[in-house]
Each structure stands twice: as C-alpha cells, then as structure tokens.
Structure 1
Amino acid sequence: NCSAVLKTLHFITRPLSDEEGNFSLAYIITIHKELEMFVKLLRAIYMPQNIYCIHVDEKSPKAYKAAVQNIVNCFENIFISSKRENIVYAGFSRLQADINCMRDLVHSKIQWNYVINLCGQDYPIKTNKDIIQYIKSKWNGKNMTPGVVQPLHMKHRTQISYREYRHSGMSYVSPTKNIKAKPPYNLTIYFGSAYYILTKEFVEFTLTDARAKDLLEWSRDTYSPDEHYWVTLNRLNG
C-alpha cells in the first residue's frame, strides 16, 4: 500500500528549498541484502526532484527483489535498473552494474546534474542541501573521483587476467596465469575509490567515447576495475 509507505516512512514529498528544487541529483544504489537498511538509506537521501536507480543483485532472493519492487512502485522517480548483474565482489560485474544504471539515467525525463553511487550499507551524514552546496562551492562542473597513479603494490590488479567464478552458492574473483595486454591508447592507469560524484556530461562521455568503451572492455578481466576505471577516465577527460 503506497499511501501507507509514504505516511509511515515519512518520505519528503516536496523540495525543501528553491536551490534544491533547481539542482537535481541522480543516485545509483547497488543492493543485495538488508532491506530495512536500504529503506533507511533511501528515506534519508530521498527528494522528489532527484532520481534513483536501484540495482538489485540478480542472485538476491525472490522475496527481497519483490519487496524492493513494491517500494519502488510507489515513486515515479525511483526505478530498478533495466539490466541486472549477478555481482561478484571485486569483479567486473560490480562496475557493470553502475554502467547499467547510467545507461538508464541518461534517458531519464528528470534533468539531473550529478550522479552519486552508493551501496545499500551506506548512510549520509550530510543533507541534500549540504551536498549540493558543497558541489557548487568546490566542484562545479568537475568530478569527484580522487586517485593517484597506480601504486606498485596494486599493479598486479591490471597486469594479469582475473576471472569471476560462481558455484555452490559462492562467488569470487581469482587470478589466471595470463598476462594482460597494455592498456588501450597507452593510458596511464590511476587508482582510487569505486565511489564518486560525476557530472552528467562525464557520464555521457563514459557511455559514448571510444576510449572509454575500449578501457571498459580492457578492464573486463582486471581485479576490482571500479577502483581504476572512473579515476583513469577522469584524467583522460581533463
């Protein structure tokens, strides 16, 4: 019952200021467990002018998927990603989940300014207004995806080929004996966080630029590619 969801969970139903109403954020939230925690997170970051793409892990229980769908159905600006991945920790599937949501978000009717990615166990310590003002004051038109040139002790992540394995209810990433080719376009690989705040223009660049696509393909058999992909692309994009 949607009216009960809105009433009992106290979701915000209108922008709390003109500034917020005129600056929409997109969120990508990847989840696979702990429904109650997800609902608390969603309630904390929800604003009617924002848009939310929820990626539910394909291997999540049916009852969990159904419960998430029931919540999502109550909102016009929350949706489940059109393509779902069976996510393996530190595998390419984790990066692909974000890409899937980005592809959906760029076709949204809501004109958002920045996208922020979260997992279901995150929780905000800043308000929506705080986040917007911070973006405007220090990062206007720029991406937040900090990183450094890939350290020596991390080079194994991209120098040898890794594979995702799924069997007997277990999933993991394991190295092979294959040495990887050099990065496309002789790119310098940077290393940073899998979490980011990105402009819509950068997201569109990521989805359309040949170099971005080639780096994505090259990253398919690396370890935890989301920790090098965004930060490397950001350097490429200036």
Structure 2
Amino acid sequence: MPQLESAKCSFLLCLGICIFICSIIYLRAKRLDIPKAQRLSLSCYPFPVNCQILPPSSSSMKWQRTACPEVSTFDDRLNCSKMQTELHFIMEPLSREEEEYPLAFIITIHKEFETFVRLLRAIYAPQNVYCIHIDYKAPEGYKASVRNLAKCFPNIFLASITENVTYAGFSRLKADINCMEDLIRSPVKWRKVINLCGQDFPTKSNLELVRYLQEVEWKDINMTPGVKQPKSMQHRTQMQHVEVQGLYVMPKGHKKGPPPHNLPIYFGTAYYTLTRRFVEYVLNNSLAKGLLEWSKDTYSPDEHYWVTLNHVKDAPGSKIDGGWEGDIRAIKWRNQEGTAHQGCNGRYVRDICIYATKDLNWIVEKNSMFANKFESTSFPEALDCMEQWHRHKVLQQATVPIQPSWQLATEVNISSASPAGMKVKSKTW
C-alpha cells in the first residue's frame, strides 16, 4: 500500500511538471503570435532631383525634407500627438469653406502600409470622416498597424464588417456598402462620399475638391462616370459568376435572369462621389437592395451597380442623361496609348500604369480629383514628387497660419559654406 501511494505521488508530480512545461511552451508560442511593435520610416532617401512639377528653383537652391520620422505603428503606448506632428498631419481646417462642407472617404486597402499613410495624410482634414476597409486576408501585423494609427484620430475608423476581397468580385462592392452603413451612423454630417483604394493619390486639394463638387454641374448630383452597357461587356452581367477561394472570379456557365424591374444596365468606373441622400437610398430602397442581390454573381459588379442606380429617375441626385463626365481619376490604360496618353513611363499592372516620375506632368495637366496607381516600393520617387507638389498647393491655399509640422520639405540655399560647416538659408512650404 505505501508503494502504491509513493507511485501515485510520483505520477502526480510528473504530471504537474509536464503541465507546467506545456504551459510555458504554449505561452511562449502565444507571445510569438502577438505582432511586435514595428517602426514606420517614411521616405528617408534624398529628395528626387528630377521632380519637374515642383515650383522652379534656382541653381543655388535644393529641396530638402523637414524630417525623416520613425513612428511605432502598432505600439499601444503610441504618443498620438507626437505621431500626428512627426507624420505631418494637418490637424485643423484650412478654411471656413472646407469646414462647412465635410466630406466622407471610403478607403479599401490590403498592402503597402507606407503608401496608405501618405495617401491618408494627403487627404486628411479634421472636419472630414474616413472609413478604412482592410481586406480580411491582409497580414495581422498590417491590420494592427492601421488599427493603432486610426486610434489617434476621432474621425478615422475601421469598417465594422470586413470582407475577404476578391479582384472583380462582389466582395469588393460589399466592402464599400459596409463602410457606407458605418458612415451613415457617424456623427459627422458629411455632404458627399468619395471612394479610394490604397494606391490612389490626390491631384486636387481638399479645398479644390469641395469647390469642384459644388459646381453647377455637380451640386447635389452624384458623379458615376459610365454609359449604357456595351455588348462587349454584357457577358459580365448575363452569365453567373462565382468567387473561388477569395482569389478570382470565374463563370459558372449558367445564364442569369433579368435585373429587378428590368433595369437597363450601365457600365462605368468603380469610383464615384455620391450624395448623402443617395447613400441612404442605396441602403434602404427596395430597388437598390434588389439590384445589389442580383449583382452578387456578376463579374466586377462595382462597375455597373453605382452607375446603373445613378440612371434611375427617382434616385436622389441621379444623372439620368450622364455619360463619362466627371474628372474622378487620372488613369493610364494600356489600350489608350497614343490617344488619351503617350505611354507609361513606369510599368503596367492589369493594363493600368504604375506611375514613374516622368508620368507626373500628364497627371498635373489632366487635373482629375485623384490619380491611380502609385507604388512606394516600385517607383518611390514618383510618390515623393507628387506628395511634395500636393502639400505645397494645399499650404498655398490655406487661410490660417501654417504650422511648421505641416511642411514636408524646405528649399535650402547650398551656395555658401564655411569651414565650420554649411550655412543654409531656407524657405518652407
């Protein structure tokens, strides 16, 4: 009997040791799963010398960055005030005109955190509101970075429902719908909503956007460039399609029934500016809901959904006689070489140009609301140049005193230097 008790005690001791060791292994594994605080460094390389769109500078002057910040992107101890300053966010309205016409933005992203941050600080204004939709399959570290950045701004939030986005799939359209449902509940009384992707960059300043959207042609009117669906595009909505593993869309081989109320289907861009009343119509009207349901198994439904509804007579702000009007995006399509543009100086991805520096003059001359696409990894100097040009214009138009932290670059005089070091005179913008 004593031997049995001794064996029992030994067994329990071994069991306890095993549980303790397993617990340590488990906890260490869990700690490895927790994203570690990352450092975000924005553009620390020299400012591009071939940025022709910047204001002219004399031979004795050159552009120099004001700072090369490193900010923890998902550290819970993030100092928001310091981050806003070091990343050069503009934290007050630059004019009463802008303050009285707040805008809403939907930004769908999945990669290139630096490119996203630079887009966000270019379009950020405290009177606006921003809904960020992160692709469900994006890396956890990336999601945490965006989430912690958003925590530092009362008017930036992540979509409450996220989609596993498929290129040309219904999930891409649903991501916008999800953000619209969140934006309608926002306390910000925004006037119009604009959708963006993470590789867009603004050409117009916020003040120019506000003025453009209030011109006679667009005041209280939706902007959804597009035309009656051409025959070459009808297969997209006449045949059923299915999303496969969140990667691509393929036809099922079955013909679809007609759209609700036999609506004539239009074809256009996935980009828009919509009035608040139109968004409420999209979310609540039975015809809009019916078209959304019918569009679930179509190809690239965001290229027909908005423009089709905007041709419905009873839809608020509709433009039933509209065509391709509206300067929403500057895009160099491969099949428009020699007509709309003279070629891509960067490289084509899915027949869309990724811009290089030599493409920027075309973008500036076109003067659309935004340009697409930029990549900080492929052509960083193009994004650098565009960003400095845009911030210069924004600050030139401001009607309030300019804060030093809003400046991205200074123009420094390098013509004189002493043995003790270079003496510089600078002007900021």
Query: Do both proteins adopt the same fold according to a TM-score greater than 0.5, normalized to the shorter chain?
Result: yes
Q: Distance in 1 between matches of 2:291 and 2:249?
A: 20
- Residue number among 192, 195, 218 corresponding to 1:114 in the alignment: 192
Deviation at 1:177, TM superposition (A): 1.0
Q: Distance in 2 between matches of 1:61 and 1:7?
A: 27
Structure 1 residue 96 and structure 2 residue 174: aligned? yes
Q: Distance in 2 between matches of 1:187 and 1:3?
A: 51
Matches for 1:65-214 after TM superposition, within 5 Å: 65-137=143-215, 138-166=217-245, 171-214=247-290
Q: Distance in 2 between matches of 1:15 and 1:221?
A: 43
Amino acid in structure 2 at the alignment position of 1:207: L
Q: Distance in 2 between matches of 1:3 and 1:51?
A: 19
Residue 93 of structure 2: aligned partner: 15
Deviation at 1:120, TM superposition (A): 0.2
Structure 1 residue 228 and structure 2 residue 228: aligned? no
Select the structure of larger CA radius of gyration.
Answer: 2
Provide the secondary structure at the position in 2 that maps to 1:39: helix
Deviation at 1:218, TM superposition (A): 0.1
Q: Distance in 1 between matches of 2:137 and 2:213?
A: 35
Structure 1 residue 5 and structure 2 residue 83: aligned? yes
Q: Distance in 2 between matches of 1:122 and 1:13?
A: 22
Deviation at 1:123, TM superposition (A): 0.2
Bigger shift: 57-66 or 133-142?
A: 133-142
Amino acid in structure 1 at the alignment position of 2:190: W
Percent identical across equivalent pairs? 59
Deviation at 1:146, TM superposition (A): 1.4
Bigger shift: 40-49 or 3-12?
A: 3-12
Q: Distance in 1 between matches of 2:104 and 2:238?
A: 34
Amino acid in structure 1 at the alignment position of 2:271: Y
Amino acid in structure 2 at the alignment position of 1:144: M
Amino acid in structure 2 at the alignment position of 1:142: I
Amino acid in structure 1 at the alignment position of 2:256: K
The count of aligned residue pairs is 235
Q: Distance in 1 between matches of 2:91 and 2:200?
A: 22
Deviation at 1:3, TM superposition (A): 1.9
Scaled by the length of structure 2, what TM-score is found? Answer: 0.54
Deviation at 1:4, TM superposition (A): 2.3
Deviation at 1:106, TM superposition (A): 0.4
Unaligned runs of 5+ in 2: 1-77, 319-429
**Residue deviations 1:23-48 (CA, integer Å, cap 9, x gap):** 00000000000000000000000000
Q: Distance in 2 between matches of 1:9 and 1:196?
A: 28
Unaligned runs of 5+ in 1: none
**Residue deviations 1:91-146 (CA, integer Å, cap 9, x gap):** 00000000000000001100000000000000001100000101111300000001
Q: Distance in 2 between matches of 1:164 and 1:117?
A: 23
Deviation at 1:72, TM superposition (A): 0.2
Deviation at 1:5, TM superposition (A): 1.5
Residue 40 of structure 1: aligned partner: 118
Amino acid in structure 2 at the alignment position of 1:32: H
Q: Which has the higher contact order (CA 8 A, sep 6+)?
A: 1
Amino acid in structure 2 at the alignment position of 1:227: E
Following superposition, which runs of at least 4 residues in structure 1 exceed 4 angstroms of deviation?
Answer: none
- Residue number among 124, 128, 141 corresponding to 1:63 in the alignment: 141
**Residue deviations 1:75-101 (CA, integer Å, cap 9, x gap):** 000000000000000000000000000
Deviation at 1:7, TM superposition (A): 1.0
Amino acid in structure 2 at the alignment position of 1:146: P
Provide the secondary structure at the position in 1 that maps to 2:200: coil
Scaled by the length of structure 1, what TM-score is found? Answer: 0.98
Q: Distance in 1 between matches of 2:183 and 2:81?
A: 26
Amino acid in structure 2 at the alignment position of 1:94: R
Provide the secondary structure at the position in 2 that maps to 1:94: helix
- Residue number among 295, 300, 304 corresponding to 1:219 in the alignment: 295
Deviation at 1:194, TM superposition (A): 0.2
